[in-house]
Amino acid sequence: MDRILIEGLEFDAVIGVYDWEKRIHQRLTLDLELGWDIRAAAAGDDLTQTLDYAAISERITTFATKHHFELVETFAERIAALLKEDFGIDSVRLTLRKPGAVANAQSVGVRIERGEWSGR
């Protein structure tokens, strides 16, 4: 299985368990690894045969502005489900980070895998 990468995607979202967090936007960072067979796209140099990075990035950013979650875990699960449903992606690895959430840490977050990965 080939892997398409989108790394360091930044967007603002309302996320957090504290009342003050529910009133502000916070910056999140997302790294994606998407399982996709790129051979048809490469053979024909054809964007329609692969995953459109810009469309995926825009869809995630739009989703983030329209939904509010308390936990990064919930947000990560929803993004994985969204990618599988909207783009037909079978395998998703993602790392979602919330910078500045803990005073002495650069960021906190989660890394999840959903779907089957062949050729690990």
Which pLDDT tens digit goes with each residue over 98-119? 998 889 999 999 999 999 876 5
Catalytic residue among 22, 66, 84, 98: 98
Q: Which of 24, 34, 5, 26 is nearest to 109 (CA)?
A: 26
What is the residue type of 67? H
The answer to whether residue 66 is catalytic is no
Q: Please say whether the beta carbons of 14 and 46 come within 8 A.
A: no
The single residue listed with the structure tokens 């999840």 is 112
Q: Tell me, what's the pLDDT at 120?
A: 46
pLDDT digits (tens, 9 = 90+) for 65-86: 999 999 999 999 999 999 999 9
pTM of the model: 0.91
Judge whether 13 and 25 are in contact, CB under 8 Å.
yes
Token representation of residue 1: 């299985």
* pLDDT band (50, 70, 90) for residue 95: very high
Question: How far apart (Å, rounded) are the C-alpha atoms in residues 109 and 118?
Answer: 26
Q: What is the pLDDT of residues 38-70, one digit of tens each?
A: 999 999 999 999 999 999 999 999 999 999 999
